[in-house]
Amino acid sequence: MSYIPDRVTKEPGRSQDPYGGEELDVPTWQVQPGRYRLIAARACPWASRAIIVRRLLGLEYVISMGLAGPTHDERSWAFDLDPDRVDPVLGYERLEQAFLARFPDYSKGITVPTLVDVPSKQAVTNDFPSITHDFFFEWRDHHRPDAPDLWPDDCRDAMETVMDRVFSDVNDGVYRCGFAGSQEAYDEAYDRVWTAMDWLEDRLSHQRFLMGDRITEADVRLFTTLVRFDAVYHGHFKCNRNKLTEMTAIWGYARDLFQTPGFGETVDFDQIKRHYYVVHEDINPNGIVPKGPDPAGWHAPHGRDRL
């Protein structure tokens, strides 16, 4: 998948690689409160990162948000949750319109999250790792006073290593299981997922969060997969060695995050299930959406504060 690489930065003309820190030769747009609209969907794990980070940092008052519905067709995500099925700020029925407003011949994927320039109604970027990175580094002047330090300097290198593995073996790994085209590809992806899950179970058995005693971007990135695991990935994507609820440390950790302001209130299990079980017709041709699992367990005491 190719993304629009543009960045929104505090200083015009400056753009840095979110991982290496070096200057990048990509177009930049300037940070300006009220100018941009985050288009997301509660169903999508990649978009959920941006929803959570925006909430944690207190950027709701400077970056507006529009939410697409949980199902889409091959053309685009649609604003079918809004009155008259139109985004009230952009006036669009589909996210596709923002991409075509900027690139009339755009033929790449229409994905969430996407930042849209409200005055021109054009897509700015849908490069999801950069969006949350820039929410932290470039929009700092607009964070709430007690916003968490999602990218702490003292563990940055270690955090990058953890996030790389979480992305390749867990975030993306469940998709490689679900869309494997052969038994061999599935077996390899399955083994990588569960090797990583066992590594996480061990890591989280002796520390509260991925990087110790504080929430970082690494936790946000892992949470969006964990919160979908039993409801979708366990059965729909055949990641069924065991359920999340059967892993003591990870299940406690996931509940800890879910109950932290900024996380659980952004989750909609019904939308999550409708997205995967309806859109993925090749995996679930009948489009039947399961009624379970019961989400009540997410509110049970987690006991993680002892760590």
177 is catalytic: no
Which H, E and C letters describe 86-104, residue by residue? CCCCCCCCECHHHHHHHCC
* Helical H segments across the chain, by residue range: 45-57, 96-102, 128-137, 156-165, 173-178, 183-204, 217-228, 248-258, 269-279
Of the listed 3, 106, 155, 175, which one is catalytic?
175
Of the listed 44, 253, 276, 277, which one is catalytic?
44
The set of residues, in sequence order, having a beta carbon less than 8 Å from that of 167 and lying 6+ positions away, is 221
44 is catalytic: yes
Nearest to 218 by CA among 136, 285, 302: 136
- The amino acid sitting at 155 is C
Nearest to 257 by CA among 292, 296, 288, 299: 299
Residue pair 126/68 in contact by the 8 Å Cβ criterion: no
Residue pair 146/203 in contact by the 8 Å Cβ criterion: no
Q: Distance from CA of residue 65 to its chain's centroid?
A: 15
Sign of CA pseudo-dihedral 185, 191, 194, 198: negative
The set of residues, in sequence order, having a beta carbon less than 8 Å from that of 178 and lying 6+ positions away, is 233, 236, 237, 238, 239, 280, 283
Which residues are the active-site residues? 44, 175
